[in-house]
Structure 1
Amino acid sequence: MIRVGISGGTFDPIHIGHVKSAEYVYKTLELDEVVFIPNGQPPHKVTSFVTDERHRFEMVKLAIKDYPAFSVSDIEIKKDGYSYTVDTLRALTKEYRQKFGDVKLYYIIGTDVLGEITSWKESNEVFKLCEFVVLRRPGFVLDNAREKAEAGGAKIHVVDAPQIDISSTRIRELLEEGKDVKMYIPEKVYTYILSNNLYRERKAMGFEEIKKDLEGRLSEKRYIHTLGVVDECERLGKIYGVDQENCKLAGLLHDCAKDMDIEQYKWLGVSTDATEEELVNGFNVDVLHARAGRIIAAQRYGITDTEVLDAIENHVTGRPGMTLLEQIVFLADYTEVNRRGVVYDKIRNELDKGLVNGIIAACDNTIKYLLDKNVLIRIETIQTRNYYLTELKKKSEREVT
């Protein structure tokens, strides 16, 4: 049986702490090999813009070049979509069994991660596929986290590896500030960073950068819809005199969190609990991506314009008294060219009469759809309909007088 350690992470960038910890575990547990696995799209880091996987993979290769028992795998970075530990472990188990007959996997984690492993996707299966090696870190109490993990079925080994007080986050900050980090990262990695101009000062991402990032994060169908919304927002913006760049940006980002799952919403701090109050207000998981989208837009892409962020957050339900930008994004979601069918044509026809008419038609369609499904209706959708129906009636009365 081959005994393999796994060191997974973003490695953005890899530093000497990663390498030295892996070396210590390799020697202490008498492993046959340690494989480093750079994350592809880590589901818990959706608010961060992670450096291109090609660069991160190359930096790991350079960092471990002088360690014969260390290797690097592209199993996660070549995978489409988000990377989950359970899928990686299954693939590795299959691969090593085919080569060596049997394998025992040891997943190396930090103390801070120990308390999270029971919430990982299919954690029960994860605990069957590997044992965990916890690097004890100063200031962290293991007892409760370890008890919780072991109660869930995890097998835990605790090692007191040498501590190096540095993190990838801090290294990026130092590099962005133009500070020297040579003492924290392998020399070849440092040279690679300089040669490829990585970790410069990071500012808000531009439209084309965001577009490229979303192409890799959204499903093909969702991405095509998004581009349609961008075009429709631009068209409506011209008609109603709204800033073109804001229209396109809000349209581009309106569904930036749509392909995330419930666990990722939780990581962002979006409440997913169907409390009594939420049920009364019409709890609906299909609305959560709008709330999460605001967070992603701000934290991952650096968007600070509150009008754009409001348009993203309110594009599903609308709200009374929306700005013109909010109204445009709300409607473009229904009327972009890829939306086909009688219902969408009806909303387009009403939109031709004016934004308010379009909003009422969109709300009516959503309410009817949800009634037919016999599910809860968000209170904001009803409030939006009532507000704009009242506004339309006021307008009609003014025209009569």
Structure 2
Amino acid sequence: MESFRREVREWLSANLVGEFAELRGKGGPGREHEAFEGRLRWHRHLARSGWTCLGWPGERSVEEQVVFHEEYAEADAPAKVDIVGEGLLGPTLIAFGTPEQKERFLPKIRTLDELWCQGYSEPGAGSDLASVQTKARLEDGRWVIDGQKIWTSNAHYSDWIFVLCRTEPGSRRHHGLSYLLVPLRQPGIEVRPIRQLTGTSEFNEVFFDGAVTAEENVVGKPGEGWKIAMATLGFERGTAMLGHQVGFRRQLDAVMARAPHDERLTRAWLELHVMRSHTLRTLGDEPGPEASVLKLFWAGWHRRLGELALDSLGPASMADENQWQRLFLFSRAETIYGGSDEIQREIIAHRVLGLPR
């Protein structure tokens, strides 16, 4: 494994040069607006060199994935632009898609020729995802879609969206839902960026008014949308999380270098090591409810780090706009997006601990 680590490290050193060197540290949650076009060129360069979709079946071992994500983060390489396509939809199609869907969509996800976003949350269905009301009906061999999605990351940059919608009139909760693949650049779809506390706009509202997609662009059978959607969320927790944790460690190191050490910094350091140990212990398992433990843990840890950074650095942290302010503000969202803390606790209680509802 050390030879592979050396290969990754040497490749990154040789390729993060020129225009790509200027992208170091750019992008990531709350900063997706940074150098987007340059990061897209970098991500396509990764693809041409065989460094995308490492987690897909038959690509790289779990150990190799861990090494790649750690070295990528250590090199301060720019954040990738299509985590949703590569990390969520790709594995979902491999597990549940038809041969035709795999042939049509997977190659363009791999090469970054088509970018994806996720259409789950709605104004009345955020954490309670089973309450979605966006509707789709079959007409003349096409799905016709009406409704609204919200908090859709990077929809303004994306070409396609996978949409959880209600396809059986009168159905309720988990029943009657379908998982549709929908082209975004068409009449009948409007994308409106949402201005955030950080002043940036990586989240969006997406409005569907008679938007269409082909009948065959349903993943699984019509009515199986809940099962497919939950599988997609399961793929969200994986080896890439180790790369995020390297980023967390770098942030913590920066705070510790500037702030007097106290019990909270020591606790944060210990918790980060616990987080890594838990991630390593669960790698390679089928996605399951145990992933909620990690989501709950890292989101709370990162939010506390933002609070700790401002407290430790004192008034200077508020003098000008800086990374610590962005961390403090954006980390508030991390305990909500991707499954709120409340929902994660519900999943852990019922499906891990076996507690009664």
TM-score, with length taken from structure 1: 0.27
Higher relative contact order (CA 8 A, sep 6+): 2
Q: Which has the larger radius of gyration?
A: 1
Q: Which has the higher helix share?
A: 1
Q: Which has the higher strand share?
A: 2
TM-score, with length taken from structure 2: 0.29
